[in-house]
Amino acid sequence: MAAWLVRRAARRVAGELRGRGPGPWSLSSSTVPVLGVPAVDQSRAFCSVRRFAGDSAAAAAVEEPENGLAAGGLQCVDFPGGKLSFVGEMNFLPESQTERINCYRVLDDDGGTIYNSRFQEVSKDLALKMYSNMVTLQIMDTIFYEAQRQGRISFYLTSNGEEAINIASAAALSAQDIVLPQYREPGVLLWRGFTLQEFANQLFGNKLDYGKGRQMPIHYGSNRLNYFTVSSPIATQLPQAVGAAYSLKMDKKKACAITYFGDGGTSEGDFHAALNFAAVAEAPMIFFCRNNGWAISTPTAEQFRSDGVVTRGQAYGIRSIRLDGNDTLAVYSAVHTAREMAITEGRPILIEAMTYRVGHHSTSDDSTKYRPADEMEHWRTARDPVSRYRKWVQGNGWWCDTQESQLRNNVRQELLQAIQVAERMPKHGLAELFTDVYDQIPSNLRQQERSLLDTIKRHPAEYPADVPV
């Protein structure tokens, strides 16, 4: 009788709490209070049963309370999947939260810091380096894009509108951290020391291209700078990044891995496998999602019904944050903090950066076919991350119009010179198509090489004359 009264009282308390409406959901949300148990101990009162762990003396188990009841009369069982208490009501979790996850921001649209905003302090030297790299990336995209339109390179892809994501995230990392990019993060490589000449060499596929001309343009990579070569298939780099992060953990390195991907990448199975893999392995890594609203021509509204990407981290037990991807200080502060948590606590972190892809998806795309041109123009002018950050830097008295003009002129001249050098540089020979995979080239590849050379001899006009045979 006493146990029945206790259970009845517990149900009444639970009903009263439900009647108050749902409260804010957090990673460590509170549970229904258990009667007779102090508040500080309620986290242990759900179930005191422990799974059978063996016959050894070290495998002592906590005894199950009488009648399978936890303190307060709530029935519970220690399932292999977790300790759970039971309720008599049938409640389905809602498909979404009543309110969307907030977006972390430091700078307002005019480049001023928001009152009471918390962010990582940035020195003058660091701030100016970040700004000059953002400007360099912006000019680099403009000139290389024009070079493709002139027919001098075959393909290009810009980072217009996402300069803050590129440079600020890179600035918050260390040189020992491993980067597995998607394809819209050349600014990370620029920050790490990849020269404009090295970018041009890759785009033209000349003899100084580290990929020996075998990759399509913008597929950069640098072993020296811990930057894995870009791979076109979407999201394949995510589980690879978890493996890299886990290796850092095994070697007890004070470093993490970071992988970048777009909102479209979260629709791939590799995204879900990687998040679960990282959470279970407790890998020190950062998942950085650039949610720019479009997976080429597919808007996010047609990709998922959840509140963006940030909520998916919680589903896999991963600490997550949403931020303004056009806010340089917000990106820098969040990545700086995420890196510290990933390394010191041994955990993955998910960052969703809200932004907008100002340019076309690539030189093969015309985005005016699926989104209004005035929308693109609004984001290019009113919400440009480079201009916004410049206002903050200039507001601190660290920058002026004369420095701006000089920087832009110098970068433009250096780029034009790099293109001229890269264009004149000889190409790799056709024999390089068959190297760097096998130690000894197998007979089938030798046969393919002979067949290719024979075809070129029979049809010389169909092949470029500047590629050595």
| CA–CA gap between residue 233 and residue 458 (Å, rounded) | 35
Is 336 a residue of the active site? no
With beta carbons less than 8 A apart as the criterion, state whether 202 and 419 touch.
no
Q: From the CB of residue 257, how many other CB atoms can be counted at a distance below 10 Å?
A: 28
Please, is 438 exposed, middle or buried when counting C-beta atoms within 10 Å of its C-beta (0-12, 13-18, 19+)? exposed
Mention every residue, 6+ apart, whose C-beta is less than 8 A from residue 10.
Answer: 32, 34, 35, 72, 73, 74
Q: Which amino acid is located at 416 in the chain?
A: L
Which of 219, 360, 361, 428 is catalytic? The answer is: 361
How far is the CA of 178 from the CAs of 136, 170, 216, 222, 300, in angstroms?
23, 11, 23, 11, 29
| CA–CA gap between residue 136 and residue 131 (Å, rounded) | 9
Q: Pairing between strand 178-180 and 82-85?
A: unpaired
Containing 392, the helix (H) or strand (E) segment is helix 385-395
How far is the CA of 17 from the CAs of 9, 33, 41, 93, 102, in angstroms?
13, 10, 19, 16, 25
| CA–CA gap between residue 177 and residue 143 (Å, rounded) | 30
| CA–CA gap between residue 371 and residue 365 (Å, rounded) | 12
Which of 146, 340, 345, 377 is catalytic? The answer is: 146
How far is the CA of 94 from the CAs of 91, 97, 98, 211, 272, in angstroms?
9, 7, 9, 49, 21
Q: From the CB of residue 20, how many other CB atoms can be counted at a distance below 10 Å?
A: 7
Mark residue 116 as left, alpha or beta (left: phi above 0; alpha: psi -120 to 50; beta: remaining): left
**Residue 275's closest CA among 283, 29, 322?**
283
Mark residue 163 as left, alpha or beta (left: phi above 0; alpha: psi -120 to 50; beta: remaining): alpha
Is 361 a residue of the active site? yes
Which of 232, 297, 364, 451 is catalytic? The answer is: 232
**Residue 321's closest CA among 171, 93, 105?**
105
Catalytic residue positions, numbered = 146, 232, 361-362
